[in-house]
Structure 1
């Protein structure tokens, strides 16, 4: 029987050597056998996390080929993944964050979906995600954003990211056609999926969850200035393609962004900025009641955040 093609699993790691074993063990436990592991160490050259990661890799045992690549200085997740892509020998590429884990059939089922998809000109396959707390308890499944093909997938993706990076599975040659990850403050996987769709590729999906994603702050929303600026930058990218999705989708994208900014600024106690974005959300909501309900939820989250 002909051997199935090599799949490269790219694992960027930064300041989490203690979590890396769980991630790599989950790759070793895959039912799909022809896998290479590429660990991209994005720690700074002389810090303790680099030393600890080196020691871990020296001792780690696997029957799979493993590449260990070290950045001299921290470059961030997007560029670390790009390093992995450039060094990958596999026909297919998938990703895993260093603190998350695959379920055993993740690679095999995504490979089968890819080669048996009804869609031609396929850009990628994505899957569902489980959210876990820091103690390993299941919290919930990621909100469903299923869409396949191109036009419908683009509309859904404009409103909400189809998949985190660890859910993606694609041929390496797709990167030759659309380019690598862009070094954005946030959402580099969102922008890559968007670019794949804009280039006319189709996407497909596995409905079942195949990745456990761990939230070490119990999933609390990140509200740093860097994150807020990153979301604004991402929104400006989306604006370029409003003409492709129609007025209804444009309105939904704007509404979601404005409400998200309201929440982030409220969590920072920046009431003036929060009010500005809340007013913008009201202008996108014909009946206003939806915004009032969502705003009430934001206030509840803000109150709860003081007690956790």
Structure 2
């Protein structure tokens, strides 16, 4: 009997242990079980307090000696990837339990080289040690390669591709930084087969106020967007607020139907439970 393909999940992280705990919780719930998880700690606080709580997962932690930023951390993770397939996933995003099974099945069925899924853009708030949805927005657009040169609707978290594409393309381009994912999508699309999966299996964490989410920052993005445009011949591209761009007529015209699968329940992690227990013990000790 043939073994199902090994999937390597590539996750950079930096000082977001509660969010990382929820990602690992979502990975522990996957119906597809043959996975390797490579976490690259970008010179932040130790991730061991989270990782040790998920012994059933095959997790490899790489500690960076200096803070190289997220694209360099992703490239470092690729050096550890053993899977036939690679799935990037940011440390604050989440995957519904059937997501990996759906994505593997699509690559196996279609023979494509990269599959990306629809998502829900979720503004999370913390409540009782877990993130709950303050707002949810379906993010589903037709697969249109020419339109993707004007505005990318590729969500890298939860996408799945054959590790062998890097043999042809090399690593992620650290020079374009904020737009490494758009650049990767365009590079793959030029030489390989790409498909969209019309299921919102990814919960993409996004705060409209920006916060620590790179997608919320505009002031320093222009040079990287210009470099991306020059690299791929994209012409002049705007750096408008993400949600304003979604209202542009050509983007609205690409909206597509999708299947919503998240039941809205939080992914309460073992790390949150452990922290709550420690806090209760400390409070009891203080009373005693």
What is the SS of the residue equivalent to 1:198? helix
Residue 132 (structure 2) pairs with residue 131 (structure 1): no
Alpha-carbon distance, 1:55 to partner: 3.1
Q: 2:229 and 2:138 mapped to 1: Cα distance?
A: 25
Residue in 2 aligned with 1:282? none
Alpha-carbon distance, 1:15 to partner: 2.0
Q: Runs (4+) of structure 1 moved beyond 6 Å?
A: none
Alpha-carbon distance, 1:224 to partner: 4.2
Residue 149 (structure 2) pairs with residue 158 (structure 1): yes
Q: For structure 1, which runs of at least 5 residues remain unmatched after alignment?
A: 44-48, 148-152, 243-249, 265-289, 291-308
Q: 1:164 and 1:77 mapped to 2: Cα distance?
A: 16
User: What RMSD, in angstroms, separates the aligned Cα atoms of the two structures?
Assistant: 2.4
- Cα 1:31–1:227, aligned 2, differ >3 Å: closer, same or farther? same
TM-score, structure 1 as length reference: 0.70
Count of aligned positions:
234
Map 1:48-197 onto structure 2 (within 5 A).
49-51=44-46, 53-57=47-51, 59-117=52-110, 122-135=112-125, 136-137=132-133, 138-142=135-139, 144-147=140-143, 153-183=144-174, 184-197=176-189
Larger radius of gyration: 1
Q: 1:134 and 1:228 mapped to 2: Cα distance?
A: 27
Alpha-carbon distance, 1:145 to partner: 2.6
Alpha-carbon distance, 1:223 to partner: 4.2
Map 1:33-52 onto structure 2 (within 5 A).
33-43=33-43, 49-51=44-46
What is the SS of the residue equivalent to 2:37? strand
Hey, which of these two has a bigger chunk of helix by percent? 1
